[in-house]
Structures are given as C-alpha cells and as structure tokens.
Amino acid sequence: MYHRIILISLTLTIGAMAHDITNIQFSPPSPASLDWDEMVTITFDYQTEATNGIRVDATPLSSMSSNYNSASTGSSVYTAAQGQAEFGFTLLSGETTIDSVIIRLLDDPTEAILFETTVTDLAFTWPKVAGGDEAPYPRCSEIRVVPHLTAIGGVFDTTIMVENFSNADQAFSLTPYGSDGAMYNSFTSHVEAGETKFYSQQDLFGPNGASWFTVNNEARVLVTVAFISTGNGSPAFSQERCVFGKKMSLTAGDWNNVFDGIAVVNLGPSPANIEVKQYDKHNQLIQSETVLSNLPSMGKGLYVLDTHFSDPSETRFVIESDQKVAILALSGSHPGSTVNFLWENHGFIHE
C-alpha cells in the first residue's frame, strides 16, 4: 500500500528570524510494523536563524488510541544555520498505529517552539505480530521501573497486576527498594499464557517499607499497579516504564479541588538534587525551588507542588535533576475529601 506524506506547517517568527523543515524522511518508511523498542528514525533538513542553536523534537500521535507509552532518542544541539537533523521515536506498550507525527524546532536553551510541522497519513504499527507469539510487553535497554508504591496503612492501597499476553508460561521477578535506596528480597513467580495475576503490595513485599520496585528486564509480562482508595473512590492505574531522563515538564490542575504531586526515583550512581521551575505561558520563569536534596541512589522522594508554588493556571512546571530519574506525576482529591480520586498526570520527558 502506498502512503502519501502530507505536511501541515506552522511557522512562529521571533523578531526577523525565519525557520523551516524540509525533505522529511522516515526509516523504516511508512507503512511498517515494528517490535517494541524498535525505533523509527526521522531525518530532515532544517533552516534557522536562532543564534543560540536549536534542538529538535517529535511527538507521535494515533487517531486510534491514546493508551500507549512512547519513547524518544532525545536531541543534540544544532548550532549551524542550516543542515540535517535526526530524531527517533518508538512505542514501549499500547497496541496502536501511529498515523501522524508533529516535528518541532526548539530554541536552545529556552525550548520555545520556533517552528513545527505535522506529517500525516502515516502507518507505523506496534507491536509486530509473528506467528501469534509476539505480545505487548516492554522491551527496554535499561531497567523497567514501577516508581511508586503507596504507604501501608494510608488512604490508598496498591494492587500489582502481572499480565502475560504471550502463548507460553512466563517467569518474572520483581525487586523492591525502600525510599532510602535499600534493596529488599525479590519476589519471583510465573504466570501462565494469557493469565493475569493480582497481588497486594504486602503479598509480594511484606510490611518492610517497600517504596518502589523494578521488573526483571527479560520478563515477557506487563506490570501495572492500581492505587485503590481504602474509602470511597476509584482505582488509578499506572504501568511500568523504562523511559527516564533528567528533565520532565507537566501541567497542573485546579488546586482548589485537587493536588498535584510527584514521586521521583534516583536511578543515578550519586545523590540527586531535584529542582522544580514554574514558567508562564510566555516561557518566562516565575519561580524555582529545590524540592528534594541529596536523594540517595535508588532512593525515592515525594513532593506536592503547592508546597511552595501557587496559582498553576496557564503555567507549566519543569522538573530537573542532576541524575537520571524515573518520575511518576499523580493528581488527586485533597486529603479529607469525601471521595478519594487519584490519577496519573502524564508529563513529557525532555532529556
């Protein structure tokens, strides 16, 4: 089948600066069926008059489903006024077809959008199905992480689901860590073909203060946690992840009605310092706070945004770390509410 590439472009002009993207190429070409963690590489020619250099960014979109986890290669800084740039993306979970991609030129270091174009009429499908044996489970070059377990005896309990989408019995191992980075005994078991197992947090890890956990990298299973209210409410679901970085941006809700918080796991070899910055809609810095200091390697910290910040309307928050981290952003009803709701707030990992 032949697929046309249709471009919809938007140029943002700052002063007299002009920017453009041309000659966009995809490898593999569309249409294509890909394995999890198999990259689609985009190359294109760019032109810019930005004086500090640019970064590039691409967002894969699907009109079929929004329930998928994507990852990217990140961007180099391009300092030449014109040249060729490259960017890659893949899916880690969530069966779907990517049918459009937004490609952007970003100013360095402000990350203001200088130019963007949308490529439509694409067909990149995940996962690749071969003989019925391939299934939607993450394939990660690094560790697989579930970055948050609720405190035992709190307002929410954690249920852990292990799903086997393959046609064969699968072994798996889950290794818990404390908030101080201490590693506890692993839980090892197996799940039959097509089966889903449900465990309480204490069933797997006991009452030892486990704060987060890893999934062994070779397990052909998908691990999801459900944060379930001990009172009135509804579960919040969050899948394992293997996309990490040092910078993440997110938007917040209405703090009159909900809270916004983050769980941060330090995956680096040294203690981490976590800084949160708030920007207005013109990308002007409003406030900056160091919210977690000397977070130990493999340790976890929690922070609620309205501890130091106020009025999140028409602003965005950028979380920065000097070590590679896994971040889970959660929004929910305030403590003491008659109904306890919690949900994952999907942010964007910059680098």
Mean of per-residue pLDDT scores for the chain:
86
Select the more confidently predicted residue: 337 or 8: 337
Task: Residue 182: name the closest of 213, 217, 152, 157 by CA.
Answer: 213
The number of beta carbons lying within 10 Å of the beta carbon of residue 257 is 10
User: Tokens 């198999």, residue?
Assistant: 38
Between these two residues, 335 and 181, which has the higher pLDDT value? 181
Q: Are the beta carbons of 242 and 93 closer than 8 angstroms?
A: no
pLDDT at residue 140 tops 70: no
Look at 23-27, 139-143, 145-149, 167-171 and tell me which has the smallest mean pLDDT. 139-143
> What domains does the chain contain, in order, with CATH numbers?
6-126 (2.60.40.770), 144-239 (2.60.290.11), 245-349 (2.60.290.11)
More confident residue, 36 or 28: 28
Is the peptide bond between 28 and the residue preceding it cis, with omega within 30 degrees of 0? Answer: yes
Q: Give alpha helix (H) positions in 201-288.
A: 201-205
- Residue 225: its pLDDT value, please? 94
d(CA 316, CA 335): 24
pLDDT, one tens digit per residue, over 183-214 is: 999 999 999 988 999 999 988 998 877 999 99
Q: Which two tokens stand for residue 264?
A: 């941060």
Tell me the pLDDT tens digit for each residue of 83-126: 999 999 998 887 788 989 999 999 998 888 999 999 988 889 88
Mean pLDDT over residues 145-159, rounded? Answer: 88
- Whether the link from the prior residue into 31 is cis, omega within 30° of 0, is yes
DSSP, collapsed to helix, strand or coil, labels residue 23 as strand
Is residue 17 predicted with pLDDT exceeding 60? no
Distance of CA 290 to the CA centre of its chain: 22
CB 48 within 8 A of CB 82: yes
- 3-class secondary structure, 305: helix
C-alpha 268/C-alpha 260 separation (Å) is 25
Instruction: Give the integer Cα–Cα distance in Å for 152 and 209.
Output: 8
For residues 341 and 228, what is the distance between their CA atoms, to the nearest angstrom? 9
**Amino acid occupying residue 253:** G
For residue 134, the model assigns a pLDDT of: 44
Report pLDDT for 351: 62
For position 193, what pLDDT does the model report?
86
Give residue 223's identity as a one-letter amino acid code.
V
Tokens of 57: 């960014």
Tell me the per-residue pLDDT of 288-340, one tens digit each, with 9 for 90 and over: 999 999 999 999 999 999 999 988 999 999 999 999 999 999 998 888 888 88
Give the model's pLDDT for residue 13: 44
| Phi/psi of residue 337, nearest 5 degrees | -70, 155
Beta bridge partners of 343: 331
Rounded CA Rg of the chain? 21
Contact 198, 160 (CB under 8 A): yes
Q: What count of other Cβ atoms lies within 10 Å of the Cβ of residue 90?
A: 23
Burial (CB count within 10 angstroms: exposed 0-12, middle 13-18, buried 19+), residue 178: middle
Q: CA angle at residue 262 from 256 to 263, to 5 degrees?
A: 145
